[in-house]
Structure 1
Amino acid sequence: MRSFILVLMFFCTVAVYAQAPDPSYVQNNYLKREVYITMRDGVRLFTSIYLPKDSTKKYPVMMQRTPYSVAPYGEGKLKTQVGPSAELMQDGFIFVYQDVRGRWMSEGEFIEMRPHQDTKSGKAFDESTDTYDTIEWLMKNLNYHNGKVGMWGISYPGFYASAGLMANHPALVASSPQAPMADLWRGDDSYHNGAFMLPHNFGFYPSFTNRTDGKPTQTPGKRFDFGTPDGYQFYLNLGPIKNSLKYTETLGKDPYWRANLEHPNYDEFWKSRNILNHHNGIRHAVMVVGGWYDAEDLYGTFKTYQSVEQKNPGIVNIFVVGPWVHGGWARGDGDILGNVNFGQKTGIYYRQNIERKFFNYYLKGIGDNNFNEATMYETGSNQWRTFTEWPPKAAKERNLYFGANGKLSFDAPAAAQSASQYTSDPAKPVPSSDYITSGMPREYMVDDQRHASRRPDVLTFQTDVLDKDITLAGNIWADLKVSTTGTDADFVVKVIDVYPDDAKDNPNTAKHIRMAGYQQMVRSEAMRGKFRKSFDTPVPFKPGKVEEVNFELQDVLHTFKKGHRIMVQVQSTFFPIIDRNPQKFLPNIHYADPSDFQSATHKVYHNKTNASHLKVRVLE
């Protein structure tokens, strides 16, 4: 993964802001304490506490638990910003940061997304009990708190906020899991429906897993050195993923990397880490936040909101999604991404008008509780919209059917026989972007897809020029009818907004790009075909047999403007963001031999009997 992703993850923890005050603000207004807080099993967790210097008032506590370090260490060394935003930092809170078990200066063993225990007794612990024990200590040992605690976190800290929802300490009154990891195999960082997210894991985890001897440390792990900026060629030269184990100083000794390779199916290793199964009995206000273009934890964002909503009727559970990358709402203006312009400073709007209001109301009683259930930024038309539920009930289900000659239409096909085919060669995979990168660029989710639509191993279907705006609101399901000459195959589906030929460039459009005819990716997802019937029990394809491959593309709120077209692309490689499928059924793709990789021809059927389509929700 490119180095900026590592920086991004760290910045999500320390919270970098677009309009930060003078760097001396924290130094001038806060005192810092460093303490070890003892958990119920005796393990001590390192905790940094930022206390307002004005001790004549009582303040609520804002807490973040993180695996990314509470640095800087030393009571005389302070962060330059604290809290979720610059605005909240200046509103008056006690800010608490904690290294979770086995990370950095905390004792204990780190477990990747430690499984939650619904039933606990005695000294049994999980992330919810560590949350409870920390809050209990804070309430008993801080002198001028007001008895209320809020939690927040982005990405991995978002998972800890999500797991902490079940702590149910009476002082915990507001939580905001933001881009929270939820299920690493189904759709978050590690796999998407069994398709391995290669650069996202390859470049990140060696530097993340920094504890090998169980002793507290302030030393980060060693980053992986690609030796080239060209990730496409690097991963192609690497060959089968098992060859990564030759990097003995990084990937070869990383336990989580090995776990990824050893658990390609949705087995108990992954199921036990699915926090979505445990969002029961939550008794305080929740605000889930995410971005439409979150390349890491889009799945976790939507599924966390849905899980809390379904399992906890009656609580305040609000949802905010903007046109942001992973953590983009916590910093930056939020008005551009890559070549696309969103027309408003959405990040600033969120921080000043939504996040600030939420925490000030529930932790201080300031303002009112007139919160919208769902506040979503509608891309394409570039406007904020609010809804009383998500997805909106007014959005009607319709099918977008594939057709002959690359047609895409809301009308079902009538032909008795009709199909399109392409040959996919793992030795020449479709690039996931048309530029050189060694990682997973955050812009790829809005990239121009013309480089893909011009390849013979990509099927392209598109509507006629739209005579009116069409708004899609909610999730999208791909319902493919396919056959293959191989025994396994990946299927990648992309939903694309095709701009008219007279579209004007944006101020942020790259010099080598033109928005005229731009094919903006709106949503994409992959499905490893062997899991089409069962995630935990893969089955091979029978060559030539027509089969259903159905999978969910995550939610959108996007308007395809009059004069644009809706396009769908289908392909079987998306490299190197997704690893290459040998197209030969194997118990474990990661341990394939070079000879296992083979070309295969795939057919996508679009006739009356086998009508491949997307199930969408259209908001009139």
Structure 2
Amino acid sequence: MKKLAIIILSFISLQTACAQSPGAAAAYIKENYTKYEYQIPMRDGKKLFTSVYVPKDQSKKYPIMMDRTPYSVAPYGDGLYKSALGPSSHFVHDGFIFVYQDVRGRWMSEGIYEEMTPELENHKTNKDIDEGTDTYDTIDWLIKNIPGNNGKVGVWGISYPGFYTTTALLSRHPALAAASPQAPIADLWRDDGWHNGAFFLVANFGFYPGFTNRQDDKPTQRRGIQFDPKTDDGYDFFMKMGPMKNTNDKYYKDTIRLWNEMIDHPDYDQHWKDRNVLTHLHDIKTPTLVTGGWYDAEDLYGAINTYKTLVAKNPQTPVYFAMGPWVHGGWSRGPGDHLGDVDFGGPQGPHYREDIEFNFFSHYLKGTPLNLAPVNTFETGKNEWKTYNTWPPKNVVDKQLYFLPGGKLSFEEPAGAKDSYDEYVSDPNNPVPFIADRNKTMDMQREYMTADQRFLKDRKDVVSYQTDVLTEDVTIAGNIWANLKVSTTGTDADFVVKVLDVYPDTVSNNKFTAPNVKMAGYEQMVRSEPIRGKYRNSFEHPEPFAPDKVTPVNFELQDILHTFKKGHKIMVQVQSTWFPLIDRNPQTFVNIMKANESDFKKATERIYTSKEHPSFLKVRVLE
């Protein structure tokens, strides 16, 4: 959600995936579609601004494809057309009615905006409204008022519009025939805000000023004002900013309501529970295609858990899952053939757009044949598409990858009974950077998810464990759980766990390799995740560490489908800062959003590697 520029790009630049030039694609739309604008009334009397593009050829009826968005349905006005329609050009040329709607409280729609509007289980009066009811009322109006529709509606959307697609399922309107939540936000606290309690700083800080174009009930085309830090060096900027409370003291001055909601609710309290849409995904009858990218730095959790929840709670409903080697929204545009230095073996986006997405909607909205496996996933490492009936696949075996003395990593458990450990000093005033080039740290830099970690080789506050050279391929399919045994001299601590694929020294550069990089010995990050230690037992009720006491810290690193090939090594790195991707932990038990500079202290962290206190990753290995 938070990379607004990327989100907007995914909707205004779909034509890059077309055979036509952007100009030709825009000309085709004007020649073949007529645009209409409506204010559609909701049950509580509010009206939502809606643009409708209808094929000029009225010799047949068409299904409706709808996208509900907080990012504007611009351009507004008669004679002003979008330059791209639908999820891809396949839809434009096949013929659909395309509908775009500003959601309640955004842009030209009436109402007050709420971030991830809480869904209601019961709607007893016309005042009981949420995104589900707004979608129901919109679909109902469209079916009754747009000439030439065939009575079937499909909904799709990426990121925040992905959330609105999920809530469209909750409308349970009988005309809703298909939906595709793509990189959907599912739980705002867990997707974009906090990862296991660690606040994603650069993903959120610069987002809210530009996103906040209005905080009232007055429709407007006015855009928000982007925050200008006057530097690309986020590491330096945020170090000079100081504690999190200075975001308001120095910059926002308590003027941005949505930012203050983040600051005022650091724990997983009722505010965030109300914004977890997963709890409502029951009694769903609509066929659904959930889409995500293995390297989505924003809403990976949402895609994976929306799919898993839908399957678990709605076993009779057709639910499909597509996961490719993409960044946030990367499947919707461009070739999708690499990320940073890592080559995915050719274009992977076109396969999704034509063979998966278009076929899915065409089948459920137009009745065309469908030959689509329930699960379509891209296996990174081998760079191959795989199909399964379930996710994770059934033919996996749970195994433990143990951290051993001497920096070893093995599927064999530690043998020694005597306590062994690795320790490092974590200094919040000298945090570990999350990418090598600090001049690119004012933004999240999506490439960090596959980036070479050798730039950290001289850091004393990063510990590494690696296997011997693999004698056969090892494929991990499913989620990874970190099971750490740690101690700290402080009363709070973050722990970041990164899983790396270490290439052999014989690997050659590929066409995407940066000039200053060698793929020989490359330490590619495959999956990574932090936890704020005070949330180790409960996201709702943080608790301090007892200094110097061995303590279990267990958390999920989310799913992968990756093959560590024969001749490679598996490496795991552990550290306690990751800046400014996540904010600094003072390492004292305080409300970090309100902390003072004096609260920040050095602490010594230990990672235990003994039989008595084993640290390991629980992984699912494909047989």
Q: TM-score range by the shorter chain?
A: over 0.9
| Aligned residue in 1 for 2:10 | 12
| Aligned residue in 2 for 1:548 | 552
Cα shift readout 1:283-312 (whole Å, capped 9, x = no counterpart): 110000000000000000101001111110
Matches within 5 A, 1:91-490: 91-123=94-126, 124-186=128-190, 188-248=191-251, 250=252, 252-368=254-370, 370-416=371-417, 417-435=419-437, 436-437=439-440, 438-490=442-494
Report if the CA contact (8 A) 1:173-1:363 is conserved. yes
Cα displacement (A) at 1:418: 1.1
Divergent runs of 4+, >6 A = none
Cα shift readout 1:395-450 (whole Å, capped 9, x = no counterpart): 11000000001000000001122111111000000000001211100111000011
Structure 1 pair 381–251 and aligned structure 2 pair: CA distance change class (3 A): farther
Q: Decide which of 80, 84, 89 is 2:83's aligned counterpart.
A: 80
AA aligned to 2:140 is E
Cα displacement (A) at 1:474: 0.3
AA aligned to 2:5 is V
Where 2:362 maps in the other structure, the secondary structure is helix
Larger deviation, residues 464-473 vs 452-461? 452-461
Unpaired stretches in structure 1, ≥5 consecutive residues: none
AA aligned to 1:8 is I
Cα displacement (A) at 1:13: 3.8
- In 1: Cα distance, 2:39 partner to 2:113 partner: 17
Structure 1 pair 247–106 and aligned structure 2 pair: CA distance change class (3 A): farther
Cα displacement (A) at 1:251: 6.5
AA aligned to 2:73 is V
Report if the CA contact (8 A) 1:453-1:569 is conserved. no
AA aligned to 1:524 is S
Cα displacement (A) at 1:534: 0.9
Larger deviation, residues 397-406 vs 237-246? 237-246
Cα displacement (A) at 1:10: 1.1
- In 2: Cα distance, 1:251 partner to 1:170 partner: 47
Q: How many residues align?
A: 614
Report if the CA contact (8 A) 2:17-2:88 is conserved. no
- In 2: Cα distance, 1:15 partner to 1:42 partner: 35
Cα displacement (A) at 1:571: 0.3
- In 1: Cα distance, 2:428 partner to 2:250 partner: 23
Cα shift readout 1:530-574 (whole Å, capped 9, x = no counterpart): 011111110000001111100001100000011110000000000
Cα shift readout 1:258-291 (whole Å, capped 9, x = no counterpart): 1111111000010110000000111110000000
Where 1:95 maps in the other structure, the secondary structure is strand
Where 1:486 maps in the other structure, the secondary structure is coil
Cα displacement (A) at 1:15: 5.5
Cα displacement (A) at 1:163: 1.0
Where 1:299 maps in the other structure, the secondary structure is helix
Unpaired stretches in structure 2, ≥5 consecutive residues: none
| Aligned residue in 2 for 1:520 | 524
TM-score, with length taken from structure 1: 0.98
AA aligned to 2:159 is S
- In 1: Cα distance, 2:446 partner to 2:489 partner: 34
- In 1: Cα distance, 2:7 partner to 2:242 partner: 28
- In 1: Cα distance, 2:253 partner to 2:100 partner: 29
TM-score, with length taken from structure 2: 0.97
Root-mean-square deviation (CA, aligned residues, Å) is 1.2
Cα shift readout 1:90-132 (whole Å, capped 9, x = no counterpart): 1100000000000000000100000000111121111001000
Report if the CA contact (8 A) 1:18-1:333 is conserved. no
AA aligned to 1:379 is T
| Aligned residue in 1 for 2:577 | 573
Where 1:24 maps in the other structure, the secondary structure is helix
Where 1:189 maps in the other structure, the secondary structure is helix
- In 2: Cα distance, 1:56 partner to 1:145 partner: 11
- In 1: Cα distance, 2:495 partner to 2:604 partner: 12
Report if the CA contact (8 A) 1:15-1:83 is conserved. no
Report if the CA contact (8 A) 1:70-1:97 is conserved. yes
Cα displacement (A) at 1:352: 1.1
AA aligned to 2:124 is S
